[in-house]
Amino acid sequence: MVNVEQGSGRVPRFKLKKGLILLLLVFVLSFPPGNAWRVGSSVRTRPITISIVPKSLDNPMLIEAKEAAELTARRLNVKLEWIGPFKVDVETQIKIVEGLIRRKVDGIAVSCSDAERLRPVIDKAVAAGIKVATMEADAPESNRLFYCGTDNYAAGVECGKAMVRIVTAKGWADRELNTVILTGSTKAHDLNERIRGFKAATAGRIKLNYRTLLVCGEDTTTAAKEVEAYLKKHPETDAFFFTGGWAFLGPPEAMPVYDQWCQNGGITVAMDTSYPVLQAALRGFAQALVGPDYRKMGEFTVSYLVCAIKDLPIPSAFIDTGIELADESNFSQLLQTKKPWDIK
């Protein structure tokens, strides 16, 4: 896994393993010129077509993954499609993959909103000879070739460790804390792994009394409304764990109750270190963040799918894109490394 220093006063840097760099070099040098590409002993001239199926098109946290995937596809001279439901909808994802199978695209990458529901259609695509990967959210029981993204259990553990540090620093280690988890879906493998890791890292170290699980459908507006509504009814809440940064993607003025709760000493640890989430953290909306690297997800997914299509080796069934750790010591520094974007 790619580790990042925290609290050192320096902006974190990701480090790629030497083997990965060498593999990427071999991969680039192996391309035939133009649109020609070799399968076995034959050379085909039509361009490679790769289709990425995100959980939804309205998830702004995937903007960086999409941009990186498109740039990589352009560099490698392959055709890239980014096609998914507008909002999270597993049935639409299934229908999209079915359509891609009928079209006989060369490669598919799916961010799985429901791992079990998508498993049969992923296996069907593999059986049809299509190279299939998962990105961001895995379907580990499927026959997909590889998963490219965050080690979500490890990310959850880092969130849990951060919660332990914050609670201990406040002198609350022996106090029972009313705790709420906000997640996007109960069916997404990535989000469930984050929760599992968080609970494992905090168990026996601090006393978290889990009161409820709020579900927002990975929707920005719904996330903010769920948090606001819960805190109005339960101001005694002590801590939140957000498995994604959806609630922080809208204007902070949309969460006045939460804002006041934070000012009164509420604790929040959240996944995501994108620009608006870091802005929210600087405002006091979170004390610690753990961020996936969406750019690497987009770049590596396309690169390694092309490797597979060209019968080149894939280093592992898990392409780990690493995590980024942030707290109050480096929020400002990290924000300077991010690309600004706004959700209107």
Question: Could you tell me the pTM of the whole model?
Answer: 0.86
Average pLDDT of the residues of the chain:
89
Q: For the residues 241-259, what does the mean pLDDT come to?
A: 96
pLDDT at 6: 37
Q: Which band of pLDDT confidence, cut at 50, 70 and 90, is reported for residue 256?
A: very high
Higher pLDDT, 62 or 200: 200
SS (H, E, C) the chain: CCCCCCCCCCCCCCCCCHHHHHHHHHHHHCCCCCCCEEECCEEECCCCEEEEECCCCCCHHHHHHHHHHHHHHHHCCCEEEECCCCCCCHHHHHHHHHHHHHHCCCEEEECCCCHHHHHHHHHHHHHCCCEEEEECCCCCCCCCCEEEECCHHHHHHHHHHHHHHHHHHCCCCCCEEEEEEEECCCCCHHHHHHHHHHHHHHCCCCEEEEEEEEECCCCHHHHHHHHHHHHHHCCCCCEEEECCCHHHCCCHHHCHHHHHHHHCCCEEEEECCCHHHHHHHHCCCCCEEEEECHHHHHHHHHHHHHHHHCCCCCCCCEEECCEEEEECCCHHHHHHCCCCCCCC
Q: Which band of pLDDT confidence, cut at 50, 70 and 90, is reported for residue 269?
A: very high
pLDDT at 161: 98
Rounded percentage of the chain residues whose pLDDT exceeds 90:
82
Topology annotation, domain 31-150+293-313:
Rossmann fold (3.40.50)
pLDDT at 5: 37
Q: What is the pLDDT of residues 33-44, one digit of tens each?
A: 345 555 555 566
Intervals of CATH 3.40.50.2300 along the chain: 31-150+293-313, 152-292
CATH 3.40.50.2300 fits 152-292, yes or no: yes
pLDDT at 33: 39
Return the structure tokens found at 272: 């995501």
pLDDT at 1 over 70: no
pLDDT at 169: 97
pLDDT at 339: 80
